[in-house]
Structure 1
Amino acid sequence: MRDTLPLLDNLSFPAIARTGLQTLQVNLTYTCNQRCLHCHVNAGPTRTEAMSDEVLATLYNVIDAHSVQILDLTGGAPEMHPRFREIVIHARREGLQVIDRCNLTILTEPGYEGLAEFLAEQQVMVSASLPCYSRDNVDKQRGDGVFVRSIEGLQMLNKLGYGQDNQALSLNLVFNPQGPNLPPPQAALEAEYKSHLAEDFGITFNQLHTITNQPIARFGSTLVSKGQFNDYMQLLRDNFSEDNMAGLMCRSMVSVDWQGYLYDCDFNQMLDLPMNLLARDRSHLSDLLGSDLKNNPIMTRDHCFACTAGQGSSCGGALG
């Protein structure tokens, strides 16, 4: 499902180019056990798109032959791909750091017993969505009962050693604003999260990553229905910071969709804005073999202002 929302002038964002390729962010499937309001992928239980064995074989070839350092697995719920564990094991065997974009509730989903233990055994970095430390706000954004199950998932990970000083088992939480606002300062919010989660539930974690909501997919549609789309776009443009340009994730990361096609970021993937590589209309994983991507131009549109507004935003949190 591609995004058809209106965007402002697509020529106003500054031109940028790549520094190389460090991270492959792979969207394994749109299937998810949740259906969150802010999800820019429109993932959910009824989505069936998933990466095929043929595309996975190409992914393994790229991992084996390329100097990629990080494999960032996302979805949907990436763990719901039937070969999730095989993919993790292959990447870890090749020395890559693996990030699992985990919604936490999958850890207690029937049929996924032992998933938390597997992640710990493979020393997978867990990046877990938790848009607030209060039940009402989380359930409002992600569905009834999600908060309680998220807390249970975090406690499972803590018991396995995640979220401690042990850097081999990193547990990072992800915050998205509830509405058309920029995230608050990341450091202050992280301290607040750590205080509340430790006091109320005995939970510890490493870092909080604040991510600005992108004006696309479900969130963008909500903005349109409420007459807030243009105001939100203007908010992003008004808060543009040149200082954030150097740290944009698209400069060293490639987004791969479930069919193996390449994009400069996950958001461009949802907008069907393919990466411009080797003068092809639509580049594929196999095109990465023999390519270092340095100085390759990045496809931009006005939604890119979401990554540069205020303190900046990336899959690893604030940029400044």
Structure 2
Amino acid sequence: MHATIHLLRKTDFPLIRRRRLQSLQVNLGYRCNQSCQHCHVAAGPNRTEMMDADNAALVASLLRSGRIATLDLTGGAPELSPHFRDLVHVARASGVRVIDRCNLTILFEPGQDDLAPFLAAQGVDVVASLPCYTEDNVDTQRGGGVFEKSINALQWLNRLGYGQPDSDLSLDLVYNPLGPMLPPPQDKLQADYKCLLGERFGIVFDRLLTIANMPIQRFGSMLVSKGQFDGYMQTLHAAHRSENLDGVMCRDLISVDWQGYLHDCDFNQMLGLPLGAADARHPRPHLRELLAEPDGFCGRPIAIADHCYGCTAGQGSSCGGALESAHAGAQAVA
């Protein structure tokens, strides 16, 4: 509670506005087969919040509208939703790229035996969480036995073609720091991951995405309990870089919660901050309002709070990894 109150006080984070909508990030529910320490959703096996059929149908309508380039499915474990596969089918049939934010161990849960082949057959991009390349660190952060299952899952995905140099099946890994510190340089850590995972387990993948831990929900509560919350916030403030503002994910993404309400990002969703485009008529914008807004709220302000510094600190951080690396890639292409 203390963390949430602190974050929602008046902030001096710079004002930013939306660009044209590109990505719809849909949280299908908070149920998960894991309970990770760094989870900003506080997901777990006992969570019951799951998107219903009516809201899933509204998502499908948006996908068919031709206004969305990327469907980003998250949770919890999004694959546990009864609507996960239907939404994948609709998106791919509509020419929409699909990202599955996968915790890897879900591939071995009962009833998910055909999940990996399904993802490959549909051409779904897999973004898989692997917070370290050592067993002790992963199991400490995510639970006993998670590392071994994750390695087995990655090897399975590799056999299906994921991450292979001659394949269109994209496999990215996600790194989160173990504690209240910023991620190390993404490019260097990616090289270490590729070397060690390749040598020890024969695993290949496309990119490593380094994401800063957000001081909210389970991770925020842990910081408060250890007396580290204020120190971490000072770290984020001190490392703010204004050049990262152009690349933050909320500029062209809308986050949808399990009830169909709209937020500027997944982190705002967890803090209960509605879309910055909210007004007196629609104080909590919903998928219904997005369907009626052909411009996707372009030009509207984005809801900000102190946790936003987590996305602009140091090399920057977004659902697509370090913003610094993204800037470098864009310059290279140009």
Residue in 2 that maps onto 1:288: 290
Task: After the TM superposition, list the runs of 4 or more consecutive aligned residues in structure 1 that deviate by more than 3 angstroms.
Answer: none
Contact 2:161 2:167 survives alignment (8 Å): no
| 1:179-238 Cα distance to aligned partner (Å, 9 max, x none) | 000000000000000000000000000000000000001110011011110000000000
| 1:284-308 Cα distance to aligned partner (Å, 9 max, x none) | 0111123312211000000000000
Q: Distance in 1 between matches of 2:288 and 2:52?
A: 15
Q: Distance in 1 between matches of 2:57 and 2:173?
A: 31
Q: Distance in 1 between matches of 2:4 and 2:313?
A: 23
Residue in 2 that maps onto 1:304: 308
Segments of structure 2 that go 5 or more residues without pairing to the other structure are 325-334
TM-score by length of 1: 0.97
In the alignment of these two chains, the number of paired residues is: 320
Q: Distance in 2 between matches of 1:111 and 1:5?
A: 40
Residue in 1 that maps onto 2:215: 215
Residue in 2 that maps onto 1:52: 52
Alignment of 1:156-195 (within 5 A): 156-166=156-166, 168-195=168-195
| 1:42-92 Cα distance to aligned partner (Å, 9 max, x none) | 100001111111111111111112411000000000000012111101110
Residue in 2 that maps onto 1:269: 269
CA drift at 1:271 = 0.2
Q: What is the percentage of aligned positions where both structures have the same residue?
A: 59
Contact 2:177 2:213 survives alignment (8 Å): yes
Segments of structure 1 that go 5 or more residues without pairing to the other structure are none
Contact 1:99 1:127 survives alignment (8 Å): yes
Residue in 1 that maps onto 2:320: 316
Residue in 1 that maps onto 2:330: none
What secondary structure is seen at the aligned counterpart in 2 of 1:151? helix
What secondary structure is seen at the aligned counterpart in 2 of 1:126? strand
Residue in 1 that maps onto 2:41: 41
Which letter does structure 1 place at the counterpart of 2:287?
Answer: L
Contact 2:139 2:146 survives alignment (8 Å): yes
Q: CA RMSD, aligned part only?
A: 1.5
Q: 1:224 to 1:25 in 2, by over 3 A?
A: same
Alignment of 1:125-136 (within 5 A): 125-136=125-136
Which letter does structure 2 place at the counterpart of 1:312?
Answer: G
What secondary structure is seen at the aligned counterpart in 2 of 1:112? coil
Q: Distance in 2 between matches of 1:162 and 1:198?
A: 14
Q: Distance in 1 between matches of 2:242 and 2:6?
A: 25
CA drift at 1:164 = 1.1
Contact 1:35 1:45 survives alignment (8 Å): yes
CA drift at 1:39 = 0.4
Q: Distance in 1 between matches of 2:126 and 2:23?
A: 16
Contact 1:5 1:221 survives alignment (8 Å): no
Q: Distance in 1 between matches of 2:85 and 2:160?
A: 18
CA drift at 1:144 = 0.3
Q: Which has the larger displacement, 288-297 or 110-119?
A: 288-297
Q: 1:54 to 1:76 in 2, by over 3 A?
A: same
Q: Distance in 1 between matches of 2:63 and 2:53?
A: 15
CA drift at 1:5 = 4.9
Q: Distance in 1 between matches of 2:122 and 2:234?
A: 43
Q: Distance in 1 between matches of 2:178 and 2:154?
A: 21
CA drift at 1:278 = 5.6
Q: 1:5 to 1:43 in 2, by over 3 A?
A: farther
Q: Distance in 1 between matches of 2:39 and 2:166?
A: 31
Residue in 2 that maps onto 1:250: 250
Q: 1:265 to 1:167 in 2, by over 3 A?
A: farther
Contact 2:100 2:126 survives alignment (8 Å): yes
